[in-house]
Chain A
């Protein structure tokens, strides 16, 4: 999300200037390992679980969680990717373009979907993702895993699994990757 935000929010095409590293690479790995265990714990196993990473920031995290799940349980968990561009509520008031083609493994009817994203901010991306998921079948339940919850929700949405809660200013940017979490600002180029 951070990358997309950088590109699309004014000043568009600005430069991300890192200010402080909040989580190191090891911290991110540990958080993902914990989230994986929490997913198993919450659902009493991995039956019917499907991970769906939100394009683009959530996808590498979803694959990493699936890897940990396979290591701890021996079961392979299907991973899908979802681009919510066509479901956003800001189409027409801000440039919205899809980034990568959606790939959902099979029908989601009766499955337990864990949405994975890097940053939870206003909640509008998750709202769009919930609408999108409905078009792939009626999931038994949908849970939300995020690496960073930065606050400033505009919708009644909360995460089930959180890597780290980071209080932020509205104009700050959070950059999440498997290499760490960095807080910074976007400055006009």
Chain B
């Protein structure tokens, strides 16, 4: 991963204005690792404001008026693309959509051509979904625009992890009886999270484990041996378990992953029924959860496989809330990258124009 993220030697040196208070200037969100715990906290705090915007009868602000956001999706997606495009529109940005699952953009050189062509039209941000890990990082190297990773292969899906953290924070605030906007990320310390299922093929799991560990939660991976990543290097988890039943009563959050049958997960399992018998969250298993525990799933759900119908629709399931929070979180990410205090150049430009306050 570090090799992918290193700047290309041929890239022209661009002047980077000094970041305020010694924090790094953020141009892109390619990985959760681009953020630090304070950075995650900032995204969640700005999300509180944008959640208020989303709740209004006219859910729109003009904060990104005149900016152009392109969604470049080289892989099937419904919710993520719609969520990002809705987020950009609710901030009054212009949205261009490039959607292709065709083979031409899967080849490195032509992806570059595609991206550079779109960039030439004047684009402020690319939202990139691609079947190849590292593709968004490549795009970031080719263009001046900001790049948001909307899921790349088995690598990462950082906005999903952020919206999951926001949802958990919301649940924690409700349990404590305080408004979510008045809470920070303290509630994550010591939180016991079980991530269950196809961890091997899951970019959601990788991003979420990184984010949760930064915030101090204790994450355990629960999967059949064949669906655990071949190496756990760089996975800050407290453990790996093959026995969901033993772990269930001790979890605060059960995070179920989708069995990624399109990535050939079926070949790693004797049968779907056997998977469900061992790792599916059935009604019988859900009854053994702690009373306060919540069930999460990044969607789309394989009902009857990793999650039973009656569990997916139960009150302890926050799946729909995850989707609702997705828009506000993505608004926050776009805002912070394009216009936030760490957006490159913001301060310099303001200074040169002599902009005063008040």
Chain B residues close to A by CB (< 8 Å): 20-21, 46, 48-49, 52-53, 56, 58, 60-64, 91, 181, 335, 338-343, 346-347, 349-351, 353, 355-358
Contact present for A91 and B52 (CB under 8 Å): no
Q: Which residues of B contact A102 (CB under 8 A)?
A: 49, 52
- Contact between A5 and B347, CB atoms less than 8 A apart: no
Contact present for B358 and A170 (CB under 8 Å): no
Complex interface: stretch among A20-28, A37-45, A115-123, A159-167: A115-123
A95 within 8 A of B: yes
In the complex, the answer to whether B358 meets A5 with C-beta atoms within 8 Å is yes
Chain A residues within 8 Å of B335, by CB: 86
Which residues of B have CB within 8 Å of A76? none
Given A121-B358, A122-B356, the answer on whether A98 and B46 have CB atoms closer than 8 Å is: yes
Is A1 a contact of B347 with CB atoms below 8 Å?
Answer: no
29 of the cross-chain contacts (CB-CB < 8 Å) are A4-B357, A5-B357, A10-B350, A86-B49, A86-B63, A86-B91, A87-B63, A91-B339, A93-B346, A93-B350, A94-B346, A94-B349, A94-B355, A95-B340, A95-B341, A95-B347, A96-B339, A96-B340, A101-B49, A102-B52, A120-B358, A121-B356, A121-B357, A122-B357, A124-B358, A135-B60, A136-B56, A152-B356, A170-B356
Bound Cα distance A162, B53 (Å): 31
**Shortest beta-carbon distance, B312 to chain A, in Å?**
31
| Interface set of A (CB-CB < 8 Å, partner B) | 1, 4-5, 8-10, 12-13, 83, 85-87, 90-98, 100-103, 119-125, 131, 135-136, 150, 152, 170
Say whether B358 contacts A97, CB under 8 Å: no
A13-B46 in contact (CB<8A): no
Instruction: Output the least CB separation between B26 and chain A (Å).
Output: 12
Residue of A nearest to B353 (CB): A93
Distance, CA A3 to CA B358, complexed state (A): 11
A95–B348 Cα gap in the complex (Å)? 10
- Whole-angstrom distance between the Cβ of B42 and the nearest chain A Cβ: 8
Contact present for B339 and A92 (CB under 8 Å): yes
- Nearest 3 Cβ contacts at the A-B interface: A121-B358, A95-B341, A94-B350
> Given A96-B339, A96-B341, 16 other A-B contacts at CB below 8 A?
A1-B357, A10-B347, A12-B20, A86-B53, A86-B62, A91-B64, A97-B340, A101-B52, A101-B181, A120-B358, A121-B356, A121-B357, A135-B56, A136-B56, A152-B356, A170-B356
Partner of B358, one of A1, A86, A131: A1
The docked-state distance in angstroms from the alpha carbon of A96 to that of B356 is 13
Quick one: which of B21, B49, B58, B358 contacts A122, CB cutoff 8 A?
B358
Q: Are B58 and A135 within 8 A (Cβ)?
A: yes
CB distance from A17 to the nearest CB of B (A): 17
Q: How far is the CA of A170 from the CA of B356 in the complex (A)?
A: 9
Report the separation of the CA atoms of residues A122 and B358 in the bound assembly, to the nearest whole angstrom. Answer: 5
By beta carbon, the residue of chain B nearest A12 is B20
Q: Which of chain A's residues have a CB closer than 8 A to the CB of B353?
A: 93
Given the contacts A95-B346, A96-B339, A97-B341, A90 and B355 also touching, CB distance less than 8 Å: yes
A26 CB to nearest B CB, Å: 26
What's the nearest-Cβ distance from chain A to residue B349, in Å? Answer: 5
Closest to B67 in A: A92
Among B21, B61, B91, B355, which residue has its beta carbon within 8 angstroms of that of A93? B355
- List chain B residues, Cβ under 8 A from A122: 356-358
CA distance A52 to B247 in the complex (A): 50
* Measured CA separation A125–B357 after assembly (Å): 8
Q: How far is the CA of A24 from the CA of B254 in the complex (A)?
A: 56
Which residues of chain A come closer than 8 Å to B49, judged between CB atoms? 83, 85-86, 98, 101-102
Distance from A37 Cβ to chain B, minimum over Cβ atoms (Å): 27
Q: Which of B20, B181, B349, B357 has the most CB of A within 10 A?
A: B357
Q: How far is the CB of B125 from chain A (nearest CB, A)?
A: 13
Contact A97 B347 (CB under 8 A): no
CA gap between A121 and B358 in the complex, in Å: 5
Q: Closest chain B residue to A137 by CB distance?
A: B57
Within the complex, the shortest CB–CB distance from B339 to chain A, in Å, comes to 5
Q: Are A101 and B356 within 8 A (Cβ)? A: no
Residue of B nearest to A10 (CB): B351
What CA separation (Å) do A100 and B48 show in the bound complex?
A: 9
Closest-by-CB residue of B relative to A118 is B358
Residues on B with C-beta less than 8 A from A96 are 339-341
Residue of B52, B60, B62, B64 most packed against chain A (CB within 10 A): B62
A96 vs B46: C-alpha distance in the bound complex, in angstroms? Answer: 11
